[in-house]
Structure 1
Amino acid sequence: MLEAKVVEIGPEAVSPGDPLLILFDETASQQLRRVSIVQRFISANDNGFHLQAGDQLLIDDQGYQVIHVGKLVENNMDAIGHATLFFEPVPKQPQHNGIYLTPYQLPQIKVGSLIRYVPQTH
């Protein structure tokens, strides 16, 4: 399991009509920070970031099931802590940087929230 703490929420990061959240780590530029949730990883990620359909993502005590992970997510998360969380059905052409989650409802998120990336037990 990998854990991150939300350290900043940009003024344009959460929009009730837009079912997505953009994540970056603290290397994000000021422009990106305006529209992003900035996360700081607080647990070691020695083997790189791995997430797949069937895994779970927890934001505080709100649980989400991963239904699709785009092909750029692992590299982007390892390099700059970046992925876009989509709380909507997977489209015909999903975003390469997207993690698609169910239920389709934006979480309550605040500075200090914990994001946990939980692989299913095999």
Structure 2
Amino acid sequence: MTVFHTTVLSIGPEAELFKEEKMVILFGKDAPESLADYCYNIEVHPTSGEIEAGQTLVIGDQSYQITSVGNVVRSNLEKLGHITIKFDGSTTPELPGTLYVEEKAMPELTIGTQVKIQ
């Protein structure tokens, strides 16, 4: 069952700066000007259930097991389309708006890339 689904609409010119830190920042089209350059802008959609460790994040054709979920990830996705995805395998969420996934090669995000949580 897909809990969340979106599409990358645009990419800020500085969005890839966070690759070294194994992070991707998603934000809806209403990202504040001070953050927009650092984000992958997405369509904002409601979720259809809880987002939990053990589920799968799919970006394009790559899948990542979710290892932990900050306590505001779901509400931030629904209201702002804003979360950070950290590819480090953390099992304890250090930041409330961060979705942590298994540590493996990060995906290439381009305009039109599909992002799902299932």
Determine if the TM-score, normalized by the shorter chain, exceeds 0.5.
yes
**Which residue is equivalent to 1:31?**
34
Change beyond 3 A, Cα 1:92–1:5: closer
TM-score (norm 1): 0.84
Report the AA paired with residue 36 of structure 1.
C
Q: How far did residue 93 of structure 1 move? A: 6.2
Let me know the Cα RMSD of the aligned residues.
1.9
Task: Report percent identity of matched pairs.
Answer: 26
Q: How far did residue 74 of structure 1 move? A: 1.3
TM-score (norm 2): 0.87
Q: Which shifted more, 1-10 or 87-96? A: 87-96
Change beyond 3 A, Cα 1:53–1:24: same
For residue 50 of structure 1, give the secondary structure of its aligned residue in structure 2.
coil
Report the AA paired with residue 43 of structure 2.
R
**Which residue is equivalent to 1:14?**
16
For residue 14 of structure 1, give the secondary structure of its aligned residue in structure 2.
helix
Misfit runs of 4+, over 4 Å: none
Give the length in aligned residue pairs: 115
For residue 53 of structure 1, give the secondary structure of its aligned residue in structure 2.
coil
Unaligned runs of 5+ in 1: none
Report the AA paired with residue 69 of structure 1.
V
Q: Is the CA contact (8 Å cut-off) linking 1:26 and 1:40 kept in structure 2?
A: yes
Query: Within 5 A, what are the aligned runs for 1:39-54?
Result: 39-41=42-44, 45=46, 47=48, 50-54=50-54
Q: Is the CA contact (8 Å cut-off) linking 1:65 and 1:103 kept in structure 2?
A: no
Q: How far did residue 76 of structure 1 move? A: 0.9
